[in-house]
Amino acid sequence: MKINWFSPLPPAETDIADFSMRALPALAAQAEIAVWTEGSKWPRTLEQHVRVVRFESCDIDWETLHNADVNVYNLGNDPRFHSGIWLVSQHAPGVVILHDISLQHLFASIFGAREVDRATYVKIMGGLYPCGGRDAAEAYWQGKLSTEDLGTRFPMTELALRNALGVVVHSSAAFDGLAQRAELPVCCANLPFPVRADMESGRSKRASWRQQPPYRLVVFGFLGPNRRLDAILDSLSDFEARHLFLLDVYGRYSEAEALRQRVEERHLDNIVRVRGFVSTARLDSALAGADLVINLRNPTMGEASGSQLRLWSHALPSLVTEAGWYAEHCVDTSLFVRPDHEVEDLRTHLRGMLAEPQKLVEMGQRGEERLKAFHSPTQYAEAVSEMLAKNSTYQQLWISRKLAERSGRIAADFLSEVELDIMLPNLADMVGALTLKR
């Protein structure tokens, strides 16, 4: 089987690039893979397993693209890395790997890049969401709503899947939501993360620590508004034991200087350090010396967390939002923070850490065991390969859907609404029978 795999690659500042590096070696053992990326740099070690093709969405080599058996499109919310991939997916159907269930930020950015496209965005929102979509889109362009406000109610995931043959997700919540789309095959596979080569010795080292303050706290990843940095700072401000903690913040933040200012305003500059985006190696070094990770997602969009798997690989405990994937998978590996009691719960857990640090050490060990049991790249490659092997069937289903949609549009010009209600189900069945006939 030949696979075209569209994805950002390191050093792109997104965990989806690291995800591909984790997944591709195992997947390449089962298929011939060409990785298509818009970046001009990538780790040369990857070429030991796959062929790397640099592309531009406005000037793609369609002949080379069509030489594969199936296209796989990794889609996330960052327009810097996924706009081009989505544009290609609209011209060449394939299987979509959804890394974010709500893609409102991606599409608002794509259609907002040019003033003329904003009307298209409003029209699409109105078509996808007849109850309130158009009004919400217009309010967004007027600055009255943010993409975070829109994301939960109007995720625009339908647009990402409009030309999809199938979809891969990484959480049961995402699977349950998408499985209702009976016409679209859905595969749920646990997000892959390889066991660290030094995991055994690392676990033993952490288990034998006699924890002494100051305790090292870490926040890392893509630091959008849902990562709740202000709530974290508020929990440390005026906290009676704040001098017993040090907090390092790693990751890209759109308003880094404003964040540093908020740190100073709360008189936290002696214990909070804003590090910015760093290499994977430097981040792993920081996590190796950390005691606790704060990994909040409020709101959460339902998908799995690569950052959670990374901290588990270091046998680290964490504080997570009691919602979505975290509420399902982090019951015995993390401490929950309620969305409506963030400052209160953060302080309660920090006090608990001071009182019984060994409990958190044991949580981190359970997280590490969960990682080993459920997140093997080999397991992921087997699940995804099994789905991709059915691509010819998915293509027939896709053709059936497209023919039924086109037939319906043509019929709508000649039939009344009552006649359409009677005829369209039979028409769809007839098209399906013709396209799926062997």
The reported pLDDT for the residue numbered 53 is 95
Q: What is the DSSP letter of 218?
A: E
The reported pLDDT for the residue numbered 237 is 95
Give the pTM: 0.85
Report CA-CA distances (Å) from 435 to 393, 423, 424.
10, 18, 16
Q: Which of 296, 349, 434, 383 is nearest to 30 (CA)?
A: 383
Mean pLDDT per segment of 10 residues, for the chain of length 438 residues?
Answer: 96 93 95 96 95 91 90 95 95 94 92 83 95 95 90 92 92 83 83 77 52 89 89 96 96 85 94 92 94 91 82 95 85 93 97 93 94 95 92 64 56 53 51 48
- Tell me phi and psi for residue 408, to 5 degrees: -65, -40
Helix (H) or strand (E) holding 169: strand 164-169
| Maximum distance among all Cα pairs of the chain, rounded to whole angstroms | 79
CB neighbours of 332 closer than 8 A, spacing ≥ 6?
363, 366
Q: How far apart are CA 349 and CA 356, in angstroms?
A: 10
- Rounded to the nearest 10 degrees, the angle between the axes of helix 229-236 and helix 342-355 is 50
Which token pair is 18? 């690291």
The reported pLDDT for the residue numbered 438 is 44
Which token pair is 269? 């500059």
Residue type, 231: A
Helix, strand, coil % over all residues of the chain, rounded to 5? 50, 15, 35
Could you please state the CATH topology (level 3) that the domain comprising 2-193+383-388 is classified under.
Rossmann fold (3.40.50)
The reported pLDDT for the residue numbered 420 is 46
The reported pLDDT for the residue numbered 311 is 95
The reported pLDDT for the residue numbered 402 is 58
Domain 199-375 coded CATH 3.30.479.30:
no
Q: Read off the pLDDT of residues 64-85 as tens digits, 9 standing for 90 and up.
A: 888 899 999 999 999 999 999 9
The reported pLDDT for the residue numbered 301 is 65
Fold match flag (2-193+383-388 vs 199-375): yes
What ranges do the domains of the chain cover?
A: 2-193+383-388, 199-375, 392-436
